[in-house]
Structure 1
Amino acid sequence: MDILNLVFLLLLAVVASRILANLVPLPLPILQILVGVVLALPPFGMAVELRPEIFMLLFIPPLLFYDGWKIPKREFTEHSAEMTAMSLLLVLLIVVLAGYFIHWLLPAIPLGASFALAAILSPTDALSVIAIAQGRLPRHMAHQLEGEAMMNDATGLVSFKFALAAAISGSFSLVSATGEFFVIALGGVLIGGGLSWAFGRLKRWMTARGLFDPSAYVVMVLLLPFAAFYLAEHAGMSGILSAVAAGMVQSRVDMLPVKTTTRILNRSIWEMLDFSFNGLVFLLLGLQFPRIAARVWEGAGEQSYGMPTLLFTALAIMALLLVVRFLFVFAYHWTEGRIRRLRGQPVEDKPLGLFSALSAVAGVRGAITLAGVLSVPLMIGDTPFPGRDLMIFLAAAVIILSLIVGALGIPYFLKRMPNDDEARHEREMRTVRRTLAQAAVAWLENWRQQNTSDDLDRSALHSEVAGRVIESYRRDLDALKDREDAANEAVHGRDMEIDLRRQAIAVRRKALYRLRKHHEIDEQMLQALLRDLDFDEAALR
């Protein structure tokens, strides 16, 4: 199939799957896998066979970069110990236990390849979990899952790379691998972080000289994860951690004073790319799954295993991942609680077993696992990579099983979890908004006093304009008061004003279309004025 037709059809399928998700009560990743399977069957017969190294370079850097970009930095710092334990100790535990377990269950997969499969099964996919939970996860757990997913994407993929190298070379030394792990990890972080910092300095230099252009900046940001990944890999360091570090540093750079249009454009494009790339990965899984299953079925006739054995192996691996994750989370929080009590520090009262069970079923595998396992080389020299189809089949089966477990288990445990996080978060947001509004009112009052003039008309104009702006902020302050009735009334008034403004914008937009229809303005003026109206409407949100 022509590559352009293939790209267009896949993107169209991603959009169609998102529309179907509003009609079919299935998690979006599962639906996208099913769409891919349908497209792979007659009469569509779409065949996709990406080269592993191209797959890794195309999908991994932007996904990891955006993970680093959007991780909440305060929660990442506050819960760094927990995230480090989940993304380092738990990953290594899964690699060792699941690696030996897979080789014991299915000796057809060599031990090195079993460790590689276990390593690539260790990263979790926070995006799929949040989509399943639909915003109902406790904030602490949502942030912990996002931070863990970002970090264990990196540690899991680096461990996968080491295990894959061991499977190819046939030799492995734990001491040398550990030392090399920290060297290439640190090198990757320094390269990605340094490149992103230099990019931020370049942006500041261009802004100071009037050379900054939002569109050119966004294109450069899109290329940044690929540059960070490629430079680190070329230097023999971790391109994975380089992409993550570049995203984390760039999110700080993006918070610096820049044009509003730049931020809007930047965020919109990255949200679109994240949605598209995740959707494409799951579609590709569905497209390749029937062919992989057929090859595994053919190979099963020549080996000592059959399809029931493979399905049992996938179920057993999934069960092991659930048990290990449950026990690790339970042990970590139990130990943390004991240490805090010994130090006389407050301990959050929560049902530990229920919390651990929710965390266990929330350990959904997704895009990174699939992207990694599809990057396994086809050949070692002139010999096919041993067990490659089995690895992809088992990884795909575990991804699907984890999505099913998450789709069933997360809503079940959420109903039984006490959750006052949302109310506490709203109180914090209200307090911060009140502080910001008070700061604005104080500045405006000071501005009005400083801009008195002997010209009575000009002074009156300053006072009138400042008074209107101050009044709008005072309405916001009334809405943020703790008195429920006054707050509800102010909120209702503000909502009414926003609604009227939106309707007025819609009227202006229709009038604009009418002017264009009667050829009173040209296409260029229409586009420019529509853009202004779009920004006005976006500001009301």
Structure 2
Amino acid sequence: MLSSFPFYISLVVIIILLIMLANRIRIAYPVLLVLAGLLISFAPGIPALHIESELIFIIFLPPLLYDAAWQISWKELWHWRRVIGSFAFIVVFFTALAVALAANYFIPGFSLALGFLLGGIVSPPDAVSAGAILKFVKVPKRISSILEGESLLNDASSLIIFRFALIAVATGQFVWHEAALSFVWMLLGGVGSGLIIGFVTMKMHKFLPTDANMDIILTIVTPYAMYITAEEVGGSGVLAVVAGGLLLSNRRLLFLNSRSRLRNVNVWESLSFILNGLVFILIGLDLPQITAELGKTSISDAIVYGLIITLVLVITRLMSSFGAVAVTLIARNYITVADTRNPGAKGPLVIGWAGMRGVVSLAAALSIPTHLGSGAEFPQRNLILFITFIVILTTLLVQGLTLPVIINRLKLTDPDYKLTDEEMYLDLRKQLNRVALQYVESNYRTELDQLPALQQIAQKWRSNLRDQDTDTIDQGFKMVYSQVLEHQRSWLTQTNHNSSAVSEDVVRRHLLFLDLEEEKISYM
């Protein structure tokens, strides 16, 4: 392990450089990372890589799901709950069924149970890939919310299908009433475990004498506690992390102070950045292991099988996307739906095409045991691994590279919000200034007359309420203030170097304040 340590450190540097390149050429970084992993895997002298499924399920998946739960808007998630729920559960089941039938028909030796096993593996689209693509293109908020919400829940539903199919393959039988009870317990046990751990964690943050560093450590430990607890009681660890993460995300103002929230954002952005990068480059690096274990099936035949399954996935998702529109148009006559207007074909096309597969599919495939309980080899395990890899690679390359082009050509408009995000931000900032000014004038009139500092900030609120070209002023202000801050840094550094009467700790406190000021104006 120690002899390979320089290699893994080099991987981190390569990941950073590749993501910089992806941002420069404006493509989703998972595409470049998987391709880079492929190329590196063929280089001579590269250490043999064997990815354990537990490495992804236990180390990578909980924090990535937890971070996604913190980032998503609960308001949007609830507003589009029916569409999100249908994609996360119903569409995943129909996708697994379509894959099972196709595999049973086209691939020799594939039973329906094995087909459902493969379907459970490849049915959930990857959230990170879609998010990386949407960063470079403008899409209506409803589309991004549906994709984000779906990705939070579809991992759980697909892994539930995977577990039941694995039992059916291993035992050769499937008892429906036992499966139904297990399914209910996985849902209740997973959600319940996540909510309980989340509630306990919230009380620990609130009542224990923690500081910002301790709060951050607790937020890192929490998703692992949720996942492991749920798995130990037979529930869904994925649902536990999602449910607990949503609970804590919507209560963050009640148990985290401003310093903890500020530092928490910075830590989690860095943690998610490196975890996502490692996962996708490891997918590419795992190719030699997968091909070496392919067995009697030729690589050419395995590639064909993988492309067939990929085609089935793409067609099924597109049909489901347009089918959801048709169901909504019919259902609006009987129930209240989120939007009664006809969404047309553009939105469903984007949602249907955003079906890249990723880390969860690979982890599930790797978790298939090598042998059955009887001691016999698990049937078609190596072929399932290879097909999964082909699905991930093909969807990332084809859909990942073409989705931005499709979005740009469709010229989507947002039917839900008339103002842009920047316009909404400026309008809300004016309203906040008005609220603050009215509150001070109503409750602290004496202090407002006596305290110069309060007078200055009140004057600032009044100036922000005036109708003016706020964008131009803001940009000019940012430029000048940034230069002033940089000049102050230089002066502090020079003073620290030249004066022995000034403590460097005090200088660093001032430097931290300047960094916070610069961070603040970046959000103005």
Query: CA 1:39 to 1:132, structure 2 compared with 1: closer, same or farther past 3 Å?
Result: same
Query: CA 1:275 to 1:108, structure 2 compared with 1: closer, same or farther past 3 Å?
Result: farther
Q: Secondary structure of the residue that 1:376 maps to in structure 2?
A: coil
User: Residue deviations 1:71-96, cap 9 Å, x none?
Assistant: 21001111101111111110111111
For the residues of structure 2 that align with 1:372 and 1:522, how far apart are their CA atoms? 55
1:424 aligns with 2:424: no
Partner of 1:401: 394
TM-score (norm 2): 0.91
Q: Which runs of 5+ in 2 are unaligned?
A: none
Q: How does 1:58-137 map to 2 (within 5 A)?
A: 58-133=59-134, 134-137=136-139
Check whether the contact 2:95–2:123 (CA below 8 A) recurs between aligned residues: yes
Q: Secondary structure of the residue that 2:44 maps to in structure 1?
A: coil
Amino acid at match of 1:52: S
Amino acid at match of 1:424: L
Check whether the contact 1:109–1:390 (CA below 8 A) recurs between aligned residues: no
Query: CA 1:14 to 1:507, structure 2 compared with 1: closer, same or farther past 3 Å?
Result: same
What's the offset of the Cα at 1:228? 0.9
What's the offset of the Cα at 1:143? 0.4
Partner of 1:262: 260
Partner of 2:496: 516
User: Residue deviations 1:29-68, cap 9 Å, x none?
Assistant: 1211122122222334132213323332112211222222
Query: CA 1:385 to 1:530, structure 2 compared with 1: closer, same or farther past 3 Å?
Result: farther
Partner of 2:516: 535
For the residues of structure 1 that align with 2:199 and 2:305, how far apart are their CA atoms? 46
Partner of 1:456: none
Query: CA 1:79 to 1:420, structure 2 compared with 1: closer, same or farther past 3 Å?
Result: closer
Amino acid at match of 2:270: M
Partner of 2:457: 469
For the residues of structure 2 that align with 1:78 and 1:191, how far apart are their CA atoms? 25
Partner of 2:435: 439
Partner of 1:364: 356
Query: CA 1:165 to 1:276, structure 2 compared with 1: closer, same or farther past 3 Å?
Result: farther
What's the offset of the Cα at 1:157? 1.8
Match of 2:273 among 262, 272, 275: 275
Check whether the contact 1:56–1:375 (CA below 8 A) recurs between aligned residues: no
What's the offset of the Cα at 1:375? 2.5
Partner of 1:347: 340
For the residues of structure 2 that align with 1:431 and 1:498, how far apart are their CA atoms? 19
Check whether the contact 2:137–2:407 (CA below 8 A) recurs between aligned residues: no
Match of 2:183 among 172, 181, 184: 181
What's the offset of the Cα at 1:411? 1.9
What's the offset of the Cα at 1:111? 3.6
Segment drifting more, 5-14 vs 357-366: 5-14
Aligned residues: 514
Partner of 1:506: 486
TM-score (norm 1): 0.88
Segment drifting more, 227-236 vs 440-449: 440-449
Q: Secondary structure of the residue that 1:380 maps to in structure 2?
A: coil
User: Residue deviations 1:168-214, cap 9 Å, x none?
Assistant: 333222332122111121111011111111110121112xxxx1211
What's the offset of the Cα at 1:319? 1.6
User: Residue deviations 1:308-334, cap 9 Å, x none?
Assistant: 322222222122112211222212212
What's the offset of the Cα at 1:371? 2.5
Match of 1:392 among 385, 392, 399: 385
What's the offset of the Cα at 1:374? 2.4
For the residues of structure 2 that align with 1:418 and 1:336, how far apart are their CA atoms? 20
Segment drifting more, 192-201 vs 327-336: 327-336
Check whether the contact 1:64–1:150 (CA below 8 A) recurs between aligned residues: yes
Amino acid at match of 1:330: F
Query: CA 1:163 to 1:10, structure 2 compared with 1: closer, same or farther past 3 Å?
Result: farther
For the residues of structure 1 that align with 2:180 and 2:137, how far apart are their CA atoms? 38
Amino acid at match of 1:538: E
RMSD: 2.4
Amino acid at match of 1:84: G
Q: Which runs of 5+ in 1 are unaligned?
A: 453-458
What's the offset of the Cα at 1:281? 1.1
Q: How does 1:272-311 map to 2 (within 5 A)?
A: 272-296=270-294, 299=295, 302-303=296-297, 306-311=298-303
Query: CA 1:289 to 1:532, structure 2 compared with 1: closer, same or farther past 3 Å?
Result: same
For the residues of structure 1 that align with 2:390 and 2:362, how far apart are their CA atoms? 10
